[in-house]
Amino acid sequence: MRLNRVRAFLGACALGLGLAAVVPAGPAAAAAPRHTIAFDQYSMIIDGQRTYVWSGEMHPFRLPSPALWRDVLQKMKAIGFNTVSVYFDWGYHSPAQGVYDFTGVRDMDQLLDIADEVGLYVIARPGPYINAETDGGGFPGWLTTQAGRARSDAADYLAATDEWQSAIDAIIARHQLSNGTGSVILYQIENELAATGTAQRNYLQHLRDKARADGIQVPIFHNDRGRNGYWVPASSTVPGTVPGPVDLYAFDGYPGGSCHTDGSVGSPSNAPDWGIQGAGGAKGGASASNTTPGFAAEFGGGWFDYWGSVGTYPCTAVREGPGYERVFYGTNIANRLTIQNIYMVSGGTSWGWLPAPVVYSSYDYGAAIDEGRQLRPKAQTLKTLGYFVQSVAPLTKVDKGADVAASSPAVRIEHTVNADTGTNFYLAVHNPSSATTDDSFTFPITTADGSYTVPLRLTGQDAKTLVADYDLEGNHLVYSTSEIETHLPGVALLHGRDGEAGETVLRYPAEPAVRFLAGSGESAYDPATGDLRLTYTHHGLIKIQITAPDGPALTLLIADEDTAAQFWRVDDLLVRGPELVRTAKVRGGRLALTGDTKAAAPLEIWGAPAVHRVTWNDRPVAVRPAVGGSLVAVRDLAGARQITLPELTTWRYAAESPEATPGFDDSGWRTADQTVTNSTTKPPAGQVVLTADDYGFHHGDVWYRGHFDGAAPTTASVTWGGGGAGLMQAWLDGTYLGQKVLPNAVATPPTRATDTFAIPPELQVTGSHVLSIMVRNNGHNEDGGVNDAHKEGRGVIGATFDGVVPSSVTWRIQGAAGVDPVRGPLNNGGLYGERNGWSLPGFKDRSWSTRSLPDNSAISGTAWYRTTFGLKIPADIDASLGLTIGDPAVPHNARHYRVLIFVNGWNMGQYIADVGPQHTFALPTGVLNPRGRNTIALAVTSDGGEANALETVHLTTLGVARR
Ligand code: GAL
């Protein structure tokens, strides 16, 4: 037996002690808080129970609607997660140094309350750096002006992170499981800090010490960018690793292969053995740390998509769909990774100016829950895996088992054993795991019950985890070639692929009565061994009632995958039929269920023998008891009614960009007078600093007006920073010079450029001139490389006009007029319309002209289109709606224009016709009023002319459910 050291976190006892006290037993236990969080090399141990932490990532900042946090978290719980992992985005809460806002959509207390109420543990990931394809990797705009190197021990940077930690830790600390007031079980410091020098070590130590000083009691970890062994706890003795101030080691992995932005699909990859099945070596053992559980802090559940792509999300959802999930997550399970966080499960929207340069507004990610909050087919496979890891407890303490050879070299068996219970687990997967051949084979199972040769089939991208020698609700399971989904007293749900043969062997001292209540199969009892062998073909639902002379009765439900998808495990109940089951409350013989239907659906309930009254969403449902111990609704539950959406026909129209005209009054604008910048992009010698962040303009559009006298130049050369697919437009003395766009559709898109405008001869006159420039800032770079990449200048970095002495140019700058107190710092930039309330619902646009769409003329610069419409979505209907611009079948076209989409004042994303690929923008309920008036304001920035005008705009249904 291996030494099984338990490290426990005992609330106050853990404070400031670094790695906390060992073993929660003894006198200390008396003073312990209500909940204990501990771990050893096998798993987390929560309140003394080994727990498989099956977690999914969602980002509250990507869903600006607290009511929908509950929707998404309930869906995550329903599809089998017991944990949600959450990044907190510093920049989302901090418009300026010293200013923090946790109100409204930024209310993280509320988020953590909801997670707790829903019954999910929380992995809290407050950065300070988070990456996450978000502006500056989560760094606030103001941090770009610091002198010290970010993600190091520079004093100014640490003072800033202290500020953020003080603010966010106070919230997280209030919600820790350890003090009985919430469900936070783990806390991450930093994110993929791949530099391991002294400055980073000091920095990490500082973050850890600060977290502990702020009252964070739960175990602290860091997520290694790959399984490199960076920042492992001091307790680990794996050679070649880098120790750090952490309690647990965790790593990130995205090995799935991806869909490419040009529409091609990479060849399938193999699932790595990142744990106990691995070849070992320097960083072998469970996840490069041999004293802590195998922990994937992020494991691919999709991938993000880039500006200029053809639109990869539908492809990714399939590529990293059911087969991928079984092969890759299954391999992780076989490798004893007992903490798995799938990134993302619900991606959401990078609304406003959240997107980092690499991504566009949709952060759908091809995840299990799509951007419109609908469950994709891959969610159903996750459900079978999630229920499994939570139902079959021996999985939380396994060691590598004896080698097992399959009859075919095309198949590999990964074997693990729980030494305490004798339970054996077999992952059957193609060899190599990327293969998709159709293989029928056998392999030997040897347990305390004896030796068996087991037939199995794998076809397509697939893997199966089989269980042998296991106590299945008081019935002894010898083995099954069906996979266990879940079980509760009296009932077990197994599943397999439609049409594939299955066999389940249970052992009884005397022959039990066996009855097929539904479906068909064979049963044979062998008195010599006591084995009851059930053989069948997976198809629909087979119900088998087994009644042993002594011992609890068991109803075996054996489902094909589509049928398995109809089951929901809610607490101690198993429910079949509806689209989704969210909650179940049993009180005094009454069962209150809540959930969703789309089509009319049957309802069957197991695990509620004492219940005689049932409600569904507060409406009574007539039920009758059925053979096999279930309750069945007499009539189907009603489905959702279809909804009709208004056409967006009439639009009010007004042109803006008055900043381009020579007479525009910019006297109230900020004069660019700084000569020193900490940006990584300095102005050319002799020029003032122009970068927008230095003047406090961090997000969205920024205007410049450069005044000079004398002869007009023949060219103007501008170095500028605009993030992903950024835009610059320029005018000289009111004449449009043109626009420049940063190239896109590459993994690391260029985020700045130097571009030259030719000045038309008729403008080359002597006099007073003004060069007006508008730069669209599509986000600050992330700082994944620890090289201050977020400090790259945005807006104009430097401008040279031939024949004009730079110091003779006076520059004035204007960005966002302020921070929207409701919608936060990332909602608005500095367009004239934004500065004057044109994006807001209350703005009076009566005097504007009217237009209909598609339009056939456009100005160079920006014009606004506004419309209002009413919605009357019934209160029991959850309609997920979107806004579609142009033809979704064409990812990008030749029209040189782009649109900022404001819905009731909320900036829900950016459409770029000639870059793409996004046409449909999710509009979360909350931002959208489902029963009232709504206002859409579109800021259309065009190159001008007929071909570059706004296309059609309409509302789209992303999903409708009845609740
Ligand atoms: C990881 C990173 C995440 C996110 C992810 C890709 O490396 O930790 O924040 O950027 O990649 O979506």
Three-class HEC string of 620-659: EECEEEECCCEEEECCCECCCCCCCCCCCCCEEEEECCHH
Using DSSP, state whether 422 is helix, strand or coil.
coil
Q: How far is the CA of 192 from the centre of ligand 1 (A)?
A: 8
Q: What is the pLDDT of residue 257?
A: 80
Residues of the chain with confidence (pLDDT) below 70: 1-33, 280-287, 745
Q: What is the pLDDT of residue 287?
A: 62
Q: In the structure encoding, which two tokens stand for residue 906, read together?
A: 């909320």
Q: How far is the CA of 769 from the centre of ligand 1 (A)?
A: 47
Q: What is the pLDDT of residue 428?
A: 98
Q: Is any atom of ligand 1 closer than 6 Å to the C-beta of 414?
A: no
Q: How far is the CA of 782 from the centre of ligand 1 (A)?
A: 10
Q: How far is the CA of 131 from the centre of ligand 1 (A)?
A: 6
Q: Is any atom of ligand 1 closer than 6 Å to the C-beta of 659?
A: no
Sign (positive or negative) of CA dihedral 612, 613, 615, 618: negative
Distance CA 921, CA 474 (A): 51
Distance CA 218, CA 173 (A): 9
Q: What is the pLDDT of residues 778-814, one digit of tens each?
A: 999 999 999 999 999 999 999 999 888 888 999 999 9
Catalytic choice (133, 163, 190, 298): 298
Q: How far is the CA of 774 from the centre of ligand 1 (A)?
A: 31
CB 186 within 8 A of CB 222: no
Closest CA to 937 of 905, 893, 894, 889: 905
Residue 298 annotated in active site:
yes
CB 552 within 8 A of CB 489: yes
Closest CA to 818 of 689, 700, 904, 728: 700
Q: Is any atom of ligand 1 closer than 6 Å to the C-beta of 192?
A: yes
Residue 192 annotated in active site:
yes
Q: What is the pLDDT of residue 1?
A: 28
Q: For residue 303, which atom of ligand 1 is closest to its CA? A: 12
Q: Which residues touch 277 (CB under 8 Å, ≥6 apart)? A: 331, 334, 335, 400, 414
Distance CA 274, CA 230 (A): 15
Q: Is any atom of ligand 1 closer than 6 Å to the C-beta of 191?
A: yes
Cβ-based burial of 356 (10 A; exposed 0-12, middle 13-18, buried ≥19): buried
Protein residue with least CA distance to atom 3, ligand 1:
132
Q: What is the pLDDT of residue 5?
A: 39
Q: How far is the CA of 137 from the centre of ligand 1 (A)?
A: 9
Q: How far is the CA of 132 from the centre of ligand 1 (A)?
A: 5
Q: Is any atom of ligand 1 closer than 6 Å to the C-beta of 135?
A: no
Protein residue with least CA distance to atom 10, ligand 1:
132
Protein residue with least CA distance to atom 6, ligand 1:
132
Distance CA 217, CA 15 (A): 6
DSSP code, position 79 = T
Protein residue with least CA distance to atom 5, ligand 1:
132
Torsion, CA 583, CA 586, CA 592, CA 593, rounded to 10: 30
Q: Is any atom of ligand 1 closer than 6 Å to the C-beta of 89?
A: no
Through-space distance between the first and last CA atoms of the chain, rounded to whole angstroms? 52
Q: What is the pLDDT of residues 455-512, one digit of tens each?
A: 999 999 999 999 999 999 999 999 999 999 999 999 999 999 999 999 999 999 999 9
Q: What is the pLDDT of residue 21?
A: 29
Q: Is any atom of ligand 1 closer than 6 Å to the C-beta of 85?
A: no
Mutate to test the pocket of ligand 1, among 57, 192, 358 (most ligand atoms within 8 A of CB): 192
Q: Is any atom of ligand 1 closer than 6 Å to the C-beta of 131?
A: yes
Distance CA 246, CA 18 (A): 8
Mutate to test the pocket of ligand 1, among 85, 252, 364 (most ligand atoms within 8 A of CB): 252
Mutate to test the pocket of ligand 1, among 225, 298, 304 (most ligand atoms within 8 A of CB): 298
Catalytic choice (57, 133, 190, 192): 192
Q: How far is the CA of 760 from the centre of ligand 1 (A)?
A: 46
- Give, to the nearest 10 degrees, the angle between helix 66-78 and helix 108-118: 30
